[in-house]
Every structure is written in C-alpha cells, then in structure tokens.
Structure 1
Amino acid sequence: MAAHHDHGHTPAAWTGVIIAFVGFCAGGVFMVAAQPVPFWGSMGVILLAPLVGGIMKMMGLGRKEEPQVRNAPARTAEQPPADQPQGEAAAHA
C-alpha cells in the first residue's frame, strides 16, 4: 500500500479535529445544561470543522498527494512474461 505512514499529521487535519472536538465538548455541556440554542450552535461548530480543514487543504496545508509508482520487478529478455506459459514462450523464440 503506501510506504509513507503519517496518519494525516498536517495543520489542516489538526485544525479540523480541534474545531470538531471543541464543538463536541461544548455541545455536551449545553445538552446536560438543557440549553437547546447553544447546543445547536455547537452542532454548527462541528459542521464547520470539515469545511475549515478542506479549505486549509486547498491552501496547501494538507497532506501532499504522492505520485503512484508501480513497483514491478524488472524482466530480462530471456524471461517470459508471467502471464505467458512456458510452452508458448518457447514457441515464439
């Protein structure tokens, strides 16, 4: 799969997670305190988290996409292709 394991440690990812965390914590407090208007405001803050993270990623603060490289073993002229049976390779030689 990917040789680079950073788990998304970027400013965009951290900012989105922190905003969502603050929104969840505030929402929990307002839910227990029976305050519906601030609770729904906290839900709005949670919805801002992916928006802010996405904008920051578009600004270049997210993870950089690495080019997809196919790591196929090198094949010499003497070796037949892996999908071709040995008998056919000898017939074409």
Structure 2
Amino acid sequence: MSNPIADPGHGHSPAAWTAVIIMLVGIAVGTTAFFLNVPWLVWSCVVVVVIGLIVGFVLAKVGYGVNGPKYTAKEH
C-alpha cells in the first residue's frame, strides 16, 4: 500500500504553462463577455483560446515541452 504512484510529468513544462495561462485568460474574459452580452468579445476570446493551443503546440515543437531539449525537469 505504500507504493507511490509515479508522476508521468505531463503538464510541467513552459509550453504547457504558457498555453494554459493564455487559454484561461481567454475563457475568463469570454465568460465575462458572455454574461455582459458582448458577442464580438466572446468570439474574440474563442480565437484567443485557439491561439493559446497553437502557442503551446509551437513551444513544445521548438523544445520547451516535457521531453524537449530546452526543458529541464525540476525536483519536487
């Protein structure tokens, strides 16, 4: 029962953090715009969320992903 579950290490990279932060900002602003009934801002935030996904993918391909050469794992 004392065997710890190994951490797969997913999501602990600059690429993942950058993508998530961009997408969270887009979702937060988009939700507020939806509540305030500002349709153009809602759709702009949808574009921001997609841009966040693309930025994360590009950063991972450039080497800032979990197994990338520019990423150094940190001890927990």
Fold agreement, TM-score > 0.5: yes
- Match status 1:29 vs 2:32: yes
Q: d(CA) in 2 for partners of 1:7 and 1:60?
A: 15
TM-score by length of 1: 0.63
Deviations 1:24-46 (A, max 9, x none): 00000100110000110001001
RMSD of the TM alignment (CA)? 1.5
If asked which structure has higher relative contact order (CA below 8 Å, sep 6+), I would say 2
Count of paired positions: 63
Question: What are the residue-to-residue correspondences of 1:46-85 with 2, within 5 Å?
Answer: 46-64=49-67
Unaligned runs of 5+ in 2: 1-5, 69-76
Bigger Rg over Cα: 1
Question: Which 4+ stretches in 1 moved above 6 angstroms?
Answer: none
TM-score by length of 2: 0.76
Deviations 1:11-61 (A, max 9, x none): 000000001100000000100110000110001001111100010011100
Unaligned runs of 5+ in 1: 66-93
| Greater percentage in helix | 2
